Copies of this chain bind each other. A is one copy, B any other.
Amino acid sequence: MAAAVAQRESQVVLGLDPDPVRLWPAAAAAVAAGATPAAQAAAAVFAHCRAVMDAVGDAVVAVKPQVACFERLGGPGWDALQQVCDHARAAGLLVLADAKRGDIDVSATAYAQGFLGATPGPGGDVAGLGADLLTVAPYMGLDTLRSFAAVARPRGAGIFVLVRTSNPGAADLEDARLADGDTVWERVARLVGELGDEHLGPQSRLSDVGAVLGATRPEHLARARELLPRTIFLLPGVGAQGGRVEDLAPAFAPGRAAGLVTASRSIVNAHDQDGGAPAAAARTEAERLRAAAWALS
């Protein structure tokens, strides 16, 4: 990740969360008459994602498909997700599958095989999506995170653990105060640090276990950086959710690759505000965000 950020001079992660009835107009033309509703929606979704990647790929370091948006289209949707991952890799972009998976033991391993690895089968190994990074949920504890890391590490892949998210409901549990003084999210941050310290990049000295930290509450970033000096932060919430890139400085303290700014609707729907063609508006917005983050870091 550190090498990719340096080479592409970007810390921007392009979120792809396609709604089949709100795609760029040209994507609707990809719909083949006569196909099933799922196949039609999946073809349009892939055409849309490809157009977005082609428009803004030069300004970003990675793409972050929201897996829910593909999964809801069944088998054809999963095939479209695979096409998106393949297209991104061919363009030199890293793939961060935003799946927020969490499970125990062999089930966590099964998810990791599907996103980051491969599954032995009767007809030979079944290749997974080939993502580079996967978001995971921490509720069930460190052993479940360790099952994901065990598949990721031998492949040079990594995981991002939800720590403090950007939604209002984060206050219900993540911000709850523990008897020892930590909040729940600070406790999770300590688990992330414990697991991540086991494996640091030889040059970057950054760990292969990242943290998702909502950019909507910048006061959390300084505290998170105290707890996690060698962790890459994935920072959603810039733009559509109200976060400002200018508030993210603490994330970049250990180096440029230590803070990744993710944006989806603010890039993909930039033409709603700025007018013009969707691709040109998206490119302008992605480049603006890239330059703002790079200048800050």
Binding site for B on A (CB under 8 A): 17, 19-21, 23, 28, 31, 35-41, 44, 66, 68-69, 71-79, 82, 100-108, 110-111, 113-114, 119-129, 137-144, 146, 162, 165-174, 176-180, 184, 187-188, 191
- Complex Cα distance, B178 from A176, in Å, reads 7
Q: Which residues of B contact A75 (CB under 8 A)?
A: 75-76, 78-79, 82
- What distance in Å separates the Cβ of A170 from its nearest Cβ neighbour in chain B? 5
Do the beta carbons of B141 and A38 come within 8 Å of each other? no
- Among B41, B113, B168, contact of A126 (Cβ-Cβ < 8 Å): B41
Q: By the criterion CB–CB under 8 Å, are A36 and B123 in contact? A: yes
A114 to B174, CA, bound (A): 27
Looking at the complex, which one of B37, B107, B108, B184 makes contact with A124 (CB distance below 8 Å)? B37
Question: When A121-B37, A141-B170, A162-B140 are in contact, do A17 and B82 touch as well, CB less than 8 Å?
Answer: no
Q: Which of chain B's residues have a CB closer than 8 A to the CB of A138?
A: 139, 173
Chain B residues whose CB sits within 8 angstroms of the CB of A124 once the complex forms:
37, 40
Residue in B110, B169, B176 whose beta carbon sits within 8 Å of that of A184 in the complex? B176
How far apart sit A177 and B62, CA to CA, in the bound complex (Å)? 38
Cα–Cα, bound, A21→B78 (Å): 23
Q: Is the CB of B104 within 8 A of A167?
A: yes
Q: Chain B's nearest CB lies how many Å from the CB of A73?
A: 6
Q: Which residues from B are CB-within-8-Å of A28?
A: 122
Report A67 CB to chain B, min CB distance, Å.
9
